[in-house]
Amino acid sequence: MAGGSHAEAGDRGAVVAHRGDARLTGDPGPDRDARATALDVLAEVGRGRRLDRAFGVRASAMPPRERRFAQELAYGVVRLRGRLDHLLAAEVRGGLDRLSPGVLDLLRLGAYQLMRLDGVPDYAAVSATVDLARERGEGRAAGLVNAVLRALVRNGTGVERFPDRERDAVGYLARYGSHPRWLVDRWLASASVDAVAARIEADNAVPPLFFVPAGDAAEAEGRIAALGGRAQSAGRGSGALRVDEIDPAALLAAVPGWIQDPGAALVARYAHPPSGGIVADLCAAPGGKALYLARRAAYVVAADRSAPRLPPLRDNVARVGARIGVVRARAEEPPVRGADLVLVDVPCTGTGTLRRHPDARWRLSAEAPQEMARVQERILNGVARSIPEGGLLVYSTCALEPEENEERVAAFLESHPDFRIEPPDELDLPDVGDDGLLRVLPERTGFDGAFAARLRRGAAM
Ligand SMILES: C[S@@+](CC[C@H](N)C(=O)[O-])C[C@H]1O[C@@H](n2cnc3c(N)ncnc32)[C@H](O)[C@@H]1O
């Protein structure tokens, strides 16, 4: 069973906390609602909707306890889909392909409760799933659901039912680790089984709640304690706090600051604009890095090409009261010239943030890193033209793939010999390598993965 209190970030940076120890209350009503909501969310994800959006819409009006249980179920099933399907395939005669999407989701939901939730007795998980099948008009499948889940109870859901790690590392990592095989193959091409296993374990963890105070950290910690929460530094120079035992909405209402993973915070910290300088953040929505940069800069221009992503960005700026102007613009046609520092936090595969967006692993294709690399190259080359002599350009992603990171930077430097890597040496950040690049690895830090290159235009002094 997953323990402790956790949080998942939504697309807009909104975070909903939940406990891994969600358990039956003795009142079947709320738990039934949570299971039904989780099933609706899974159906939407199956139709191609993003998990955070589907969950945000479906669960926003639920009472907190039911919402946490629904979140544990929906996020948990998506996160461990590969593991669940391996177990279910062994029990369903004829294979999973013969099942309708609705019945497959019901089985995943039931199997997840059997596998992960000690607080839900096996009999309750089975009978609640069978009841849900009947309610959903899947009465003809209720017998199958009952038989398959009972078989799982009998046969178990442990690691011994999966390919052996020594004999079939790819099979073990893909199935027990619940990651697509192409991604496992890709990572194993440049890292050991142990290293990939550690990354996969990090991806399958429920992310804690992290918060960046707008002002003094000690004061923020005091306010969090007064609210009954616990805060401690996330470390590694991120400036973020790990916060437990507190509802994110209560935290945001009472303490000036924003919710942000330390991996993302480290990109903004590493960017390190000149104190009192002008910054342009050209892929800014929903705005976490712009808010962080505004702590040091005199003014930040936060631009994004996406109209629907601008209102949440504006809301975040207004809530914190930061010196940030928001505009709609394409990075290739920057709305400001002559900034001291330009950040392009480009769209990417997001392979560093799979724990926060567990559905992304199933959406991505093996071609995605190359496809994203072409988009990133276009943005980076377009933005470079607006960087003045002596100015700084920071390129960043939340991906872990070399095509999107090191190879992009190498190709850029090759075609732009007037730029060079210039890390912020005065900061002493442990995730900056000897080559001056920032690499935040989930398996090393417990943070979301991130990459950044701080580039100066002009000859070395
Ligand atoms: C990784 S997200 C940025 C996250 C943001 N920096 C933060 O810290 O909250 C990438 C953003 O780039 C935007 N985007 C994609 N292509 C763009 C372009 N050509 N010009 C400007 N923005 C773009 C997307 O709309 C998306 O909001």
Confidence of residue 20 (pLDDT cuts 50, 70, 90): very low
For residue 8, pLDDT over 60 is answered with no
Residue in 16, 145, 152, 155 with CA at minimum distance from that of residue 74:
16
Amino acid, res. 28: P
- Is 185 known as a binding-site position? no
Confidence of residue 290 (pLDDT cuts 50, 70, 90): very high
ipTM of this complex prediction, to 2 decimal places: 0.99
The residues that are catalytic are: 398
- pTM of this structure: 0.92
Confidence of residue 461 (pLDDT cuts 50, 70, 90): low
The residue among 28 and 203 whose pLDDT is bigger is 203
Phi, psi at 169, each rounded to 5°: -60, -40
Q: Kindly state the percentage of the chain with pLDDT values over 70.
A: 93
The per-type count for the chain, helices as H runs and strands as E runs, is 19, 14
Q: In 119-247, where does DSSP find H-type helix?
A: 122-135, 139-155, 169-175, 181-188, 193-203, 217-226
Token pair recorded at residue 326? 């928001």
How do residues 122-145 score in pLDDT, each as one tens digit?
999 999 999 999 998 888 899 999
How do residues 276-287 score in pLDDT, each as one tens digit?
999 999 999 999
Find out whether the beta carbon of 370 lies less than 6 Å from any atom of ligand 1.
no
Q: For residue 287, report the distance from its CA to the centre of ligand 1, in Å.
A: 9
Q: Which single residue is written with the structure tokens 């910690």?
A: 221
| Cβ contact 370:351 at 8 Å | no
> Average model confidence (pLDDT) for the chain?
92
Q: What's the CA gap between 179 and 183, in Å, rounded?
A: 7
Q: CA dihedral defined by 388, 272, 455, 299, rounded to 10 degrees?
A: -30
- Domain locations along the chain: 5-161, 209-259, 262-457
Taking the chain, what is the end-to-end CA distance rounded to the nearest angstrom?
56
Q: What is the pLDDT of residue 294?
A: 97
Find out whether the beta carbon of 379 lies less than 6 Å from any atom of ligand 1.
yes
- Is 197 known as a binding-site position? no
For residue 3, pLDDT over 60 is answered with no
Please report the DSSP string for 127-148 in residue order: HHHHHHHHHTT-HHHHHHHHHH
Provide the pairing of β-strand 241-244 with 209-213.
antiparallel
Find out whether the beta carbon of 309 lies less than 6 Å from any atom of ligand 1.
yes
Query: Residue 350 CA: which ligand 1 atom is closest?
Result: 1
Q: What is the pLDDT of residue 86?
A: 98
Q: What is the pLDDT of residue 11?
A: 31
455 three-class SS: strand
Q: What's the CA gap between 65 and 27, in Å, rounded?
A: 12
Amino acid, res. 359: D
16-to-56, 108, 172, 178, 388 alpha-carbon distances in Å: 9, 23, 31, 23, 42
For residue 29, pLDDT over 80 is answered with no
Residue nearest to atom 25 of ligand 1 (CA): 306
Q: What's the CA gap between 389 and 338, in Å, rounded?
A: 9
Q: What is the pLDDT of residue 17?
A: 27
How do residues 212-271 score in pLDDT, each as one tens digit?
999 999 999 999 999 999 999 999 999 999 999 998 888 999 999 999 999 999 999 999
Provide the pairing of β-strand 278-281 with 341-345.
parallel
Q: Per the CATH hierarchy, to which homologous superfamily does domain 5-161 belong?
A: NusB-like (1.10.940.10)
Q: What's the CA gap between 39 and 145, in Å, rounded?
A: 14
Q: Per the CATH hierarchy, to which homologous superfamily does domain 262-457 belong?
A: Vaccinia Virus protein VP39 (3.40.50.150)
421-to-198, 412, 415, 460 alpha-carbon distances in Å: 30, 11, 14, 10
Find out whether the beta carbon of 264 lies less than 6 Å from any atom of ligand 1.
yes
Residue nearest to atom 12 of ligand 1 (CA): 283
Q: What's the CA gap between 57 and 52, in Å, rounded?
A: 9
- Is 94 known as a binding-site position? no
* 161 Rama sector, left if φ>0, alpha if ψ -120 to 50, beta otherwise: alpha
Token pair recorded at residue 152? 């799982």
Residue nearest to atom 15 of ligand 1 (CA): 347
- Is 298 known as a binding-site position? no
3-state helix vs strand vs coil in the chain, percent to 5: 45, 15, 40
Across 86-125, b (16+ Cβ under 10 Å) vs e yields bbbeebbeeeeeebeebbbbbbbbbbbbbbbbebbeeebb
Cβ contacts of 366-372, under 8 Å, gap ≥ 24:
366/182, 366/183, 366/186, 369/186, 369/399, 369/401, 369/403, 369/404, 370/403, 372/347, 372/348, 372/399, 372/403, 372/404
The mean pLDDT value for 439-453 works out to 98
Token pair recorded at residue 347? 């769209």
Query: Residue 309 CA: which ligand 1 atom is closest?
Result: 27
